[in-house]
Amino acid sequence: HMTPFLHLANKLAEKGHRVTFLLPKKAQKQLEHLNLFPDSIVFHPLTIFPVDGLPAGAETASDIPVSLVRFLSIAMDLSRDQVEAAVRALRPDLILFDIAHWVPDMAKEHGVKTMMYNVISANCTAHDLVPGGELGVPPPGYPSSKVLYREQDAHALSSFSTYYKRFYNRVTTGLMNCDFISIRTCQEIEGKFCDYIERQYQKKVLLTGPMLPEPEKSKPLEDQWSHWLSGFGQGSVVFCALGSQITLEKDQFQELCLGMELTGLPFLVAVTPPKGAKTIQEALPEGFEDRVKSRGVVWGEWVQQPLILAHSSVGCFVSHCGFGSMWESLMSDCQIVLLPYLNDQVLNTRLMTEELEVSVEVKREETGWFSKENLSCAIMSVMEKDSEVGNRVRRSHANLKEVVVSAGLLTGYTDKFVDTLEKLVNDTNLE
């Protein structure tokens, strides 16, 4: 979540604004290299106090499983005094926040305006986070008959539901109390969902575009991967990554590996070791490494996803459809196969697969389990030459990519966003 905030800070700094970025100490180290304007963007570390239930040293959501995020929220709330002290000292024109729902109340006491910056999709906010809604049921007037949950999503929703109630209250409180809402999306992809949110909250909604880093500014792809990928034909490799929050059960991890093997295609899987395992190696299916060693790698560490997607040998991306990965998949030329876990990922998947028709979704059973056959089948349906589905999604994806990467679309969003923001902040009537 913090990465798009920092990309947005870079845009503000580029246009002459000063930004103070409040974040936990450990996250500062992870984000520092993305700060393109260190003279204008100053990191302000927050101390994360220990909370019962929160593992020692955990400071961000990527340090813990989703089931423990509620303890992190408690720790975040305990940082309120530190945030308030910073506001008192710095007297900012505007505070951008997301799940710290108490920020608007606190800011009002100091006469400071606030903007809730939503880095998850507009479709998920529209479906799950409008007042009067109920989890799993589209709210009245919801603008899509396709971007919905289905029976086989019960698993994704139930694993989240206890935590979700509290999360729901936080986000809707933040959305209701802030002065303005902004969303990391664009009209071309999620226009009708943004308009719906604006109507429901009766508040100005500003769009920033997807807030992706500019590719030429990132480091080149590590040699080990560029070398390995170059050993395969154009568009032949399947790349699979499931973001920063998904840790698979061991049996599902093994099924994923076997599904990749079953495709007969070269593959690179980058996921964290499954539950109960310290390393990937100890969890692999028996004999797997020997069988796939010339064409398949399962890697337990972070890889440079955007650069891997841009490599000419990579032809298919199997993704959890986290919102960042969704944009990266759209910007790539890869065929897209979706394997969502959390609720927003499920809705993003329906948007991509059913509304935009640029991807396919792996079939799951009601328990949430997906079989190696279904995984392999979904991949082959887009990778086999002359596959009707494959050709259809390739065409729609190419058309949409053209819109999204068209000259000026992304910079147009940030320019307009910063312009409007300047006007709104200076407007004492809060239009």
> Cβ neighbours of residue 268 under 8 Å, at least 6 residues apart?
225, 228, 229, 237, 238, 239, 240, 296, 297, 299, 303, 308, 314
Output 243 or 266, the one with its CB closest to ligand UPG. 243
> How far apart are CB 251 and ligand UPG at their closest, in Å?
21
Helices (H), 178-249: 187-201, 223-230
User: Could you tell me the smallest distance in angstroms from the CB atom of residue 30 to ligand UPG?
Assistant: 11
The CB-of-4 to ligand UPG minimum distance in angstroms stands at: 7
Tell me whether residue 72 or residue 120 sits nearer to ligand UPG (CB atom): 120
Residues near ligand UPG (CB under 6 A) are: 1, 119-120, 241, 243-245, 270, 302-306, 322-325, 328, 342, 344-345
Q: Supply the minimum distance, in Å, between the C-beta of residue 237 and ligand UPG.
A: 15
- The two three-digit tokens of residue 5, written as one number: 């905030």
For 46, phi then psi, to 5°, come to: -110, 145
User: How does DSSP classify residue 138?
Assistant: P
User: Which residue number, 54 or 122, has a Cβ lying nearer to ligand UPG?
Assistant: 122
C-beta separation of 349 from 338 below 8 A: yes
Write down the least CB distance from residue 247 to ligand UPG, Å: 11
Contacts 24+ apart (CB under 8 A), 50-58: 50/75, 51/75, 51/78, 57/26
- Whole-number Å distance between alpha carbons of 2 and 7: 9
Minimum CB–partner distance for residue 66 and ligand UPG (Å): 8
In terms of CB distance, is 123 or 200 closer to ligand UPG? 123
Amino acid occupying residue 124: C
Q: Is 82 exposed, middle or buried (0-12, 13-18, 19+ CB in 10 A)?
A: middle
Report the residue closest to ligand UPG, judged by CB: 243
- Please say which residue, 179 or 341, places its beta carbon nearer to ligand UPG: 341
Q: Give least dist CB 304 to ligand UPG, A.
A: 6
CB closer to ligand UPG out of 178 and 342: 342
Least distance in angstroms from the C-beta of 422 to ligand UPG: 26
Of 36 and 303, the one with the shorter C-beta distance to ligand UPG is: 303
How far, rounded to the nearest angstrom, does the alpha carbon of residue 410 sit from its chain's CA centroid?
A: 18
In whole angstroms, the minimum distance from the beta carbon of 243 to ligand UPG comes to: 2
- Judged by beta carbon, residue 48 or residue 346, the one nearer ligand UPG is 346
Alpha-carbon span 420 to 412, nearest angstrom:
12
Minimum CB distance to ligand UPG, residue 309 (Å): 8
- Six-digit token pair at 194? 């943004």
Complex with ligand UPG: residue 174 or 243, whichever CB lies closer: 243
Judged by beta carbon, residue 160 or residue 196, the one nearer ligand UPG is 160
Q: Strand order of the sheet with strand 113-118?
A: 94-97, 113-118, 180-183, 205-207
Sequence-distant (6+) residues with CB within 8 A of 186 are 207, 209, 210, 404, 409, 413
Cα dihedral 301, 298, 288, 267 in deg (nearest 10) = 180
By three-state DSSP, how is residue 182 classified? strand
DSSP code at position 39: T
